[in-house]
Amino acid sequence: MRRLALLLLIVGCDRPTGPPQAGTPAVDSRGKTVLIPPRPGRIVSLAPSTTELLFDVGAGDQVAGVTTFCEFPPEARSKPKIGDLVLDLEKLSALRPDLVVTAWSLTQKTSADLEAKGYAVFGVDPQSFEEIAAALVALGDITGHAPEGRRAAEALMSRVRAIGPYEGPTFYFEHSADPLGTTGPETYTGRALRLAGGRNIFEGAWRNAVDWESVMARDPEVILIAHDGRGALERRAGWEKLRAVRKGRVYFVPKEHYIYPTPRLVEGLEEASRLFHEKNP
């Protein structure tokens, strides 16, 4: 699945207003050592996943600002907003953040610019359940919530371990209808669906863009639809001929359980495991 890209551009004043670089060293997902202030109390999060992870470890009260994309948990919606696709540096500066947390791969240029201005920027980029657990531990450690971070990580991995090995049906997962969006086998979503027992129809033949004809040619046994465009599905060429359609194995699933590298991904894992095990209705 093509990652949601927060192509954040910095606008506003260019004066260096970031906090002084002093504190405890911690290594982020880039392998970079970042100096973290003692129990940071004014954290700005630049990605929905990092906002969610911060709340998961009990650091929600320390979050001072988020983007408009950060809607979960519900408490995040009331946090001051520092932009959407465009990051407003003036608003960010007014929040006086002592730490910026982000998914580095989604905000690389913006985050590098913030570092150059003196802000402490800590990146987390989990691509598997093990890495999500590691991110929970890391964020717990740097925010003063080490026990909570470890408990959250163990709770997550306990649920993951409960899913036993299983080689199930071939599947096609669709997270957007226009343009057609699916998930690659080696994304965190793809890995979760493989762990659930599914066999991605694009395994071994993945490319960044797919077309409906290639889905038809691979004729999946199960189809998971994670968007609201279900009304147009029946109008697609050959829809009724697909094996999953004929056998009643088209399932509509909550998108939010699959598209974020956070503990919510285990909801998708458990749901997909159940659906893959389900016999033909």
> Any idea what the CATH number is for the domain that residue 101 is in?
3.40.50.1980
Euclidean distance between CA atoms 102 and 46, whole angstroms = 5
Do 67 and 114 sit in the same domain of this protein? yes
195 domain residue, yes or no:
yes
13 domain residue, yes or no:
no
Do 222 and 269 sit in the same domain of this protein? yes
Q: Which range marks the domain in which residue 38 is found?
A: 23-159
Q: Give residue-wise pLDDT tens across range 8-35.
A: 333 343 434 444 445 899 999 999 999 9
164 domain residue, yes or no:
no
Q: What percent of the chain has pLDDT over 70?
A: 91
Euclidean distance between CA atoms 93 and 95, whole angstroms = 5
Euclidean distance between CA atoms 64 and 41, whole angstroms = 8
The dihedral built from the CA positions of residue 27, 153, 111 and 44, taken in this order, carries a sign that is negative
Q: What is the pTM of this model?
A: 0.88
130, 159, 188: which is the final residue of a domain? Answer: 159
6 domain residue, yes or no:
no
Do 94 and 209 sit in the same domain of this protein? no
Do 82 and 185 sit in the same domain of this protein? no
Q: Give residue-wise pLDDT tens across range 50-96.
A: 999 999 999 999 999 999 999 999 999 999 999 987 889 999 999 99
7 domain residue, yes or no:
no
- Per DSSP, 33 falls in state E
CB-count burial class (<10 Å; 0-12, 13-18, 19+) for 271: middle
Query: Domain count of the chain?
Result: 2
Q: Are 182 and 175 in contact (CB under 8 A)?
A: yes
Residues 86-111, mean pLDDT to the nearest whole number: 92
Do 266 and 209 sit in the same domain of this protein? yes
Instruction: Please report the pLDDT score of residue 98 as a whole number.
Output: 96
